[in-house]
Amino acid sequence: MLKMKEEMYNLVELLNKYSYQYYVEDNPEINDTQYDLLYKSLEKLEKEYPELILKNSPTQRVGDKVLKEFDKVIHTQSMLSLSNTFSIEELYDFDNRIKKAISSENIEYVCELKIDGLAVSIKYENGILAQAATRGDGEVGEDITENIKTIYSIPKELNIKDNIEVRGEVYMPRKSFELLNKSREEQGMTLFANPRNAAAGSIRQLDSKITAERKLFAFIYSFASENNFSQLESLNNIQKYGLPVNNNFKSCKNIEEVIEYINYWDKNKNNLSYDIDGIVIKVNNKDYQKTLGFTQKSPRWATSFKFPEEELATKLLDIELSIGRTGIITPVAILEPINISGSTVSKASLHNKDIISNLDVRIGDTVVVKKAGEIIPKVVKVIKELRTSDSKVFEFPTNCPSCNSKLVYEENNPFVKCLNSMCIEQNIKKVIHFASRDAMNIDGLGDKIIYSLFENNIINNIIDLYSINKEDIIGIERMGEKSVSNLLDSIEKSKNSTLDKVIYSLGILNVGKKAAKILAENYNNLHNFINADYEELINLSDIGDITARSIIEFFEIDNNKVLVENLISIGINPVYSNIIKKDNIFSNKIVVLTGKLEKLTRNEAKEYLEKYNAKVTGSVSSKTDFLIFGEKAGSKLEKAQSLGIKMLSEEEFIKIIEEEN
């Protein structure tokens, strides 16, 4: 028993170390597969010896507690809000007030990114996570301890055994937000308006398992407890405890440097993987902070500069209906083109029938459009004062615009659905997904070609792709003899796709690329996967209840089961393999890809690098080993040059690949 206890302790220490490297430092020593093997070893031991499970075990982050309601928490120190500034003039006014109050012209500021999330307070007792709470009204918040424990970037045990209380921001990365809303849309659920709302809704789940599935992150920015640290010292000391700090903070000698920092991030904020809505500016000197003090609502020594939200008005010309591969009908606004947040927008989502009704959107209206989370254009308002007499009320049809089947309208469900599995538009979208780069990667089978194949009755579904003859498609639009030969070769080549790609290509709701890899690793082939049961699925790492139910429901539909059986019958039933190559210059290195690659897709380059245990990240830091660049490489290339990081052009990278193979 003592030996088992020691082994479990060592595994917990090791896994927590690797989690910190991955989620906080973005510099893991090991790859995901190696981590998963250690994780499963710990799970096995904990199953055999449940009485020995440690409180700080990473397995305890999955979220298994369901609360009836949140308990109230009285904050030991008030969680105040910050005053806001919206212009450069207001920033100069702020600076002048500081200088006047402390009778000094030399003010050093610390600037930090204003993360668009939810403020939280976290207490540690003797280095162990003891309690976490929302801001609430600033005096009283809600106890969200169980949910905070599901966030991997928040340690359950600090590097230093101390009693501290810290303040931070819980947020949802843009990619997590997109995947969450995509999943909710396919399930007919109301969409979150932006990542901040999604983070707030996720951290306030009574069922912590749901919170765990939402993939939240957090940054810590201050101590709540009394101390004599300057703001810079606070950030450095927070990191020493092993807590995550956003490393984009900067010390500025004067307000002019603050403004330079603001201008830089106003231009580059879209390069981040998460949303920011401004910059926080704090007086660095602790004595100055004490002198300046607080108002009833906010500190006088800090303010936030809010980036203006770019919203533009344009004419709504029409409303079209888009049919997804799961049958959900999504209304899309057709707009007079406008340039917003750096791109031309001619379409915007209206999400569902309730949005149209609540906004009272009519064809011909002048509408306000913004990019939700700087990503997805959406209609947010109708300027009714500009409405003309010829504007038209839009009404959802009773029948599917593609197959004419009766559409399903459910009470209290804003989404309209076509349930006909033979619906042409649904099958077109299924083939588009099946052929995409991240799935079967059928080169030459773009959206337009797929539509042509359906329009010419050459295919009606996915499996038909594998019975296309050269004579069937020669001569149809954009299909000469060479392109036909290339396409047929690519279709045939797709039969050799890896198991995880085949599973992902099926388009199962909530099964993304990561889940597909986990399923491939555990089921080994399609025969096994098609017979998966619910209990097996929910016991797999990172496959929760929602994903498990989606898989079971997918195979309950006869056409889906027949599709997989047909794929197997034509020879598409790969055995899972995860062979890692060794002795390569990229082995265990941190690599960043930037710019437009001409001969490789970004995913192809990433897959190649990952074969050698390389960690592909999105940002350049002093820990980056290689930068691989294509055309129009911007700020990442400049930063890599300034840090002396080894750089490879796409041609040099391809030459290395060719030499290895």
- Cα separation values, 595 from 592, 628, 634, 638, 650, Å: 10, 9, 7, 12, 10
Residues 325 and 322: their CA atoms lie apart, in Å, by 10
What torsion do the CA atoms of 377, 379, 381, 387 make, to the nearest 10 degrees?
Answer: 130
Eight-class DSSP state of 579: P
How many Å is the Cα radius of gyration of the chain?
27
End-to-end CA distance of the chain: 49
Eight-class DSSP state of 77: S
Residues 304 and 276: their CA atoms lie apart, in Å, by 12
- Would you list which residues are annotated within the binding site for Zn(2+)? 400, 403, 418, 423
Helix (H) or strand (E) holding 435: helix 424-435
* Residue bearing tokens 């108002």: 295
Residues 372 and 172: their CA atoms lie apart, in Å, by 14
Catalytic site includes residue 114 = yes
Closest CA relative to residue 272, chosen from 641, 619, 615? 619
Residues 178 and 174: their CA atoms lie apart, in Å, by 6
**Active-site annotation holder among 114, 370, 430, 639:** 114
- Would you list which residues are annotated within the binding site for NAD(+)? 32-36, 81-82, 112, 135, 169, 282, 306
Return the half-sphere exposure (C-beta side, CA atoms, 13 A cut-off) of residue 376.
21
| CB contact at 8 A, 304 and 281 | yes
| CB contact at 8 A, 584 and 607 | no
Residues in CB range of 112: below 8 A, 6 or more apart: 221, 246, 248, 249, 279, 280, 282
Residues 477 and 469: their CA atoms lie apart, in Å, by 16
Q: At what angle do helices 2-23 and 32-48 cross, to 10 degrees?
A: 150
Residues in CB range of 173: below 8 A, 6 or more apart: 195, 215, 217, 273, 274
Tokens standing for residue 263: 């201008």
Burial 227-258 (b: 16+ CB within 10 A, else e): eeebbbebbebbbebbbbbbebbbebeebeeb
* Residue bearing tokens 């995550």: 244
Q: At what angle do helices 545-556 and 558-569 cross, to 10 degrees?
A: 80
- Would you list which residues are annotated within the binding site? 32-36, 81-82, 112, 135, 169, 282, 306, 400, 403, 418, 423
Tokens standing for residue 265: 């991030």
Residues 451 and 321: their CA atoms lie apart, in Å, by 17
Active site residues: 114
